[in-house]
Structure 1
Amino acid sequence: MKTHQFTRSRAILLMVSILSVTTGMAQNDKSNKKAEKAAEVKAMVEAQRYIFKPQTANPMRGRTMQLTSEYTVKVSKDTIVSDLPYFGRAFTAPIDPSKGGIQFNSTNFDYKLETIKKRWQVTIKPTDAGDVQQFFLTIFNNGSATLQVTSTNRTPISFNGYVVERK
């Protein structure tokens, strides 16, 4: 009878050992994927070749809105292309009603990049975009990002989303 109990305890010990090894391997794999993602994000941010894709818009007044259409801010060393919606209070009406969002192409802008712990803070000040004063983009290691937009004739708005590499 004792030999039978001894076999059960060995079997249980063996199963616990196998579980701990597989759990450890899964954790190592997960940390490797995080490190790879962080290196990928770092490379595209420092090369100024990425696209910000917003998922939600947060107007200064009102509630958070889920975005269902494809909006982007494309960043490269020589051009910023913004195609974002706007929800909020505008102090002057646009001349062209179809240009109601935050839409512009800028080739003349200041780009400042700061690295703070596990994130990058990008400040973009377009000088040829008319109403837009500043984009303040915070990008995290996992690729998620937050964009705050300050305008001359509109209340501020922010967006939550992620960045992908610009091909």
Structure 2
Amino acid sequence: MKRFFVLKTAVLLFMGALISTGLFAQETKAQQKADKVAKIKSLIDSQNYVFVAQNALPMSGRMRNLTSEYNVIVGADSVISYLPYFGRVYTSVDYGATKSPLDFKTKSFDYNATPGKKDGWNITIKPKDHRSVQSMNLSVSSEGYASLQVTSSDRSPISFNGYITERKVKKK
């Protein structure tokens, strides 16, 4: 009888340890998610982040996975876009140009961030001194996944999927 009691106690202790470990793991995952959401929110609020594009979706044509690092660096005082363009051009083009129309830097732009669906954000960037790009609309989820739609005055729209990450400041 004593053996049964010891065995029963050991089993109950073991089951209690498993349950508490599972609850601790759930709390840890919930805390990690909350920390990530807070970090993304602080990046958006401080206007200091990088959108990293992973694939491009031209208006016509197929989705293209991007193998090089294409991004948009957003700062309080500047926006640096380094994105490829695939799509239709509506005006005459300088065929000798090797630079993408989405490869530019501006210090003159409008920036508007509003809360979006499910704890995300909708961000609109309108460059004032880059006539080709009318607007860049960035939809960011609370976990940092993002979609960027670029509307142009002389080209068909293009979208990019990717994620938001912290902007790394280069040391001199």
TM-score by length of 2: 0.88
With 2-11 and 45-54 compared, the bigger mean Cα shift is at: 2-11
Shift of 1:28: 0.8
TM-score by length of 1: 0.90
CA contact (8 A) 1:148 1:159 kept: yes
**Counterpart Cα distance in 2 of 1:162 and 1:62:** 23
Greater mean deviation of Cα atoms: 2-11 or 96-105? 2-11
SS of equivalent to 2:69: coil
Report how many residues are paired.
Answer: 166
**Deviation per residue, 1:78-126 (Å, 9 max, x gap):** 2111110111112234325212341111111111110134111100111
Report if aligned partners of 2:74, 2:80 keep a CA contact under 8 Å in 1.
Answer: yes
- Structure 1 CA distance for aligned equivalents of residues 140 and 30 of structure 2: 19
The separation in 2 between residues aligned to 1:87 and 1:6, in whole angstroms, is 73
What's the secondary structure of 1:135's corresponding residue? strand
Unaligned runs of 5+ in 1: none
**Which residue number in structure 2 is paired with residue 113 of structure 1?**
113
Question: Could you list the runs of 5+ residues in structure 2 that have no partner in the other structure?
Answer: none
Distance 1:94 1:24 in 2: 61
Aligned to 1:82: 81
Determine the C-alpha separation between the residues in 1 that align with 2:104 and 2:141.
25
2:133 corresponds in structure 1 to 132
Counterpart Cα distance in 1 of 2:18 and 2:51: 40
- The residue number in structure 1 matching 2:55 is 56
For residue 14 of structure 1, what is the aligned residue in structure 2? 13
How far off is 1:43 after superposition?
Answer: 1.0
Distance, in Å, in 2 between the alignment partners of 1:28 and 1:66 is 36
SS in 2 for 1:163: strand
Secondary structure (helix, strand or coil) at the match of 1:11 reads: helix
For 2:60 and 2:113, locate their aligned partners in 1 and report how far apart those are by CA, in whole Å: 29
Measured on the aligned residues, the alpha-carbon RMSD in Å equals 1.7
Work out the percentage of aligned pairs sharing the same amino acid.
43
Give distance in 1, aligned partners of 2:24 and 2:50.
33
Match of 1:148 in 2: 149
Q: SS at 2:140's partner residue? A: strand
Contact 2:83 2:100 in 1 (8 A): no
Deviations 1:120-161 (A, max 9, x none): 110011121121110000112211111011111111111111
